[in-house]
Every structure is written in structure tokens, then in C-alpha cells.
Amino acid sequence: MRRRTAPSRIPVLPLSLSLLLLLLVSLVGGVALGAAGVGWAEVPRFLWAGLTGGTVRAGDAAAYTIVWEIRLPRVLIGATVGAGLAAVGVAVQALVRNALADPFVLGISSGAAVGANAVILLGAFAGLGVWALSASAFVSALAAMALVYAVARSPQGLTPLRLILTGTALAYGFQAVTTVMVFGAARGEAARSAMMWLLGSLGGATWAQVPLAAVTVAAGWAWLRRRAEALNALAMGDETAAALGVGPARLRRELFVVTAAVTGTVVAVSGAIGFVGLMVPHVARMLVGADHRRVLAVAPLAGAVLLVWADVLSRLVLAPAELPVGVITAVVGVPAFLLLMRRGGYAFGGR
């Protein structure tokens, strides 16, 4: 016999507000913690100076630069990426109606990796300067998505199984291309940074990336929230969705576009950070139930908090060297996730 009662659910409003508060604390914590020792007391002062355009003493200039120019954009990008991956994870799981899906199941990260590694290893698009990596990753991510879309299309529209199979198959192809590039690269250090990118890192975050990434993620999230009830219907099946006046084919196309835009942007600034997009949606469902209106209120905040702290650890564990943040999300996330899953009596597709 399966469980007889629903798991206890946490009211969504207090939970969201606490997560929001936790996120603010995490942002400050993420800025304060780092390999280069900047005193806790100094950090709020530097942040205040940066926000209000105030002045700092000449002796603090180096510490101020670390806080304002390096750590703060990095922490903000981390929160944005975490929120984006979690929101898109929810969307992809509804899109392919599969609990195992994550934002990368559609081949997008492997596609982006091809573009990114072309820049890292082969020095492609050098004319774009510092934007080469992000731009190349973004464009190749979108190209990969377009290819998946074109191949997965059928007279019945985008069916979940075709999407997953096409995405997975093409991902293998993209990975092969990346591997050839890594092995063909002459310089060992380049292979290391390619690896770093494949596992995800926030090391390249700059202020210039923040507005675009934040706007894309916020717009994607807003759209998903607006369509949350339709996502509920889609999760019950295409026939049910149609009977409730939600066109499943059209909704899938819309979801596909939103997923491509948000994942492409996120991957372009941070590489392929795994696990957040798979795990956070499930954790959100364990806490507040499967209704997408509530899941989408909680998951992005939880993803943001998780990634900010994962990034802090990635900077500190082997300081001054850095670990890829994807390693941290897996090392910390897997046990936490397994523990929650075993305790909660949470049903994955009734299994």
C-alpha cells in the first residue's frame, strides 16, 4: 500500500518570505566570505559605499574592489543562475512530463559546451573580446535547441518521449565534439578551464552580465507563473489539458522557447551547473506539494540560496584554488536530497 495521507505541507507565503530573507542574508554572506580576508565589519560599509556612490579610504581600495567588483557580481549572478535553473527545471519536468528531467535533458548544455570550448580551446570568436565565451555559448545553446526542436517535431507536435530521446541522443553527439576538442587541445591549462566550464563555475561573473541574466530569468519566471495552472493541467496529461481548454501542443512550444532562452542565458554566464535544476523542483514539491503555482513561488528562491552557498564553498574548500561549483551542488545536494526523499514519503510519478 502506498502512503495514505498527503505529506504535511508548509504554507507557501511564510516559506517564500523566509526564503527571501535567507536569500538576502546569503547574498551578504556570499560577499563577506572568500579566500582574500576582508573583515566582516568592512563588508556592509563597502556595500553601502558602492550603493550610494560614497567614498572609501585609499587604503581600502583593494578590499573594496574585491567586494564590489568581484564578489558582489559573482554572488548576484550565482543567485540569478540558481533561480533560473530551478524555475526552468520545473518547466522542463512539466514539458516532458518526467520527474528525471532537468534543464539540460534537451541537449542544451552540451550544445553550449561546444561553443564555449571552441572559444576556450581554439580561441574562436576572438574578435568579441571578453564577450566571446558567453556569446558563443549562448548562440550554440540556442542552435542546439533549434536542432532538437526540428528533429523532435512530429505531426502530433512535440511529444515528451521524442523530446527526451532527441535531446539525449544529440547531447551525446555534442559531447563527442567537445571531447575531440579537449583532447585535441595543445595546452593542458586550457583543458582544465574547459573542464571547469563543463562542470559549471561562476568565476567569470562580471557586472556587465548581471542585468541581462537577471532580466531574462525574471521574465522567464514571470511567464511560468502566469501559466502555472496550465502547467498543472499539462502534468495530468495531454488529453486532460485539451479538455480543460489548454492546447498542449501550443503550451509545449511556449515552454520550449522559454526554456531555451533562460537556460541559454544561464549556461552562457556560468557553464553547465548540474543538479540544481533536477533537485530543487523536487525539494520544492516535497515542501509545498505539486501545484505549480506554489512550486514556482518557492523553487527559484531555494535554487538561488543553494547556489550562492555552493559557490561560497567552491571558493573556500581548496582556497586559493577553486572547485567547479557543480561539484559542490552534487556533493552537498545528493545526500540532502536522498535524506529528504526517504523521510518524506514523496511519490515520484506514483513510484
Partner 1 sequence: MRLDIDDVTIETAGTRLVEHVDLTVGSGAFVGLVGPNGSGKTTLLRSLYRALRPSGGVVRLDGGDLHAMDPRAAARVLAALPQESSAEFDFTVTEVVAMGRLPHQGRTAASDREICTRAMERTGVDHLADRGFLGLSGGEKQRVLLARALAQQPRVLILDEPTNHLDIAHQLDVLSLVRGSGLTVLAALHDLNLAAAHCDVLYVLDGGRIVASGPPHDILEPPLLAKVFGVRAHTVRHPATGARQLLFDLLPPTT
Q: Compute the distance between CA of residue 241 and CA of residue 345 in angstroms, rounded to an integer.
A: 27
Judge contact between 292 and 231, C-beta under 8 A: yes
Separation in Å, CA 186 to CA 130, 191, 192: 22, 9, 12
Binding string, residues 95-124; x marks residues near partner 1 by CB under 8 A: --xxx-------------------------
206 φ, ψ to 5°?
A: -130, 165
Quick one: which segment of 44-52, 267-275, 282-290, 312-320 binds partner 1 (CB under 8 A)?
Answer: 282-290
Of 62, 243, 334, 339, the one binding partner 1 by CB under 8 A:
243
Q: Compute the distance between CA of residue 167 and CA of residue 148 in angstroms, rounded to an integer.
A: 6
Binding to partner 1 by residue 42, rule CB under 8 A? no
Q: Looking at beta carbons only, is 180 or 244 nearer to partner 1?
A: 244
> Least separation, in Å, of the C-beta of 28 and partner 1?
35
> Least separation, in Å, of the C-beta of 89 and partner 1?
13
296 φ, ψ to 5°?
A: -75, -15
Burial of 21 (0-12, 13-18, 19+ CB in 10 A): exposed
> Least separation, in Å, of the C-beta of 108 and partner 1?
21
> Least separation, in Å, of the C-beta of 259 and partner 1?
17
Q: What is the CA radius of gyration of the chain?
A: 21
Angle, CA 285 vertex, CA 218 and CA 12 arms, to 5°: 70
Quick one: which segment of 140-148, 197-205, 230-238, 272-280 binds partner 1 (CB under 8 A)?
Answer: 230-238
Binding to partner 1 by residue 289, rule CB under 8 A? yes
> Least separation, in Å, of the C-beta of 9 and partner 1?
8
Q: Compute the distance between CA of residue 152 and CA of residue 7 in angstroms, rounded to an integer.
A: 37
Quick one: which segment of 69-77, 131-139, 241-249, 262-270 binds partner 1 (CB under 8 A)?
Answer: 241-249
Binding to partner 1 by residue 22, rule CB under 8 A? no
Written as one letter, the residue type at 261 is: A
Residues that bind partner 1 (CB under 8 A): 2-6, 93, 97-99, 155, 229-230, 232-233, 235-240, 242-247, 285, 289-291, 346-350
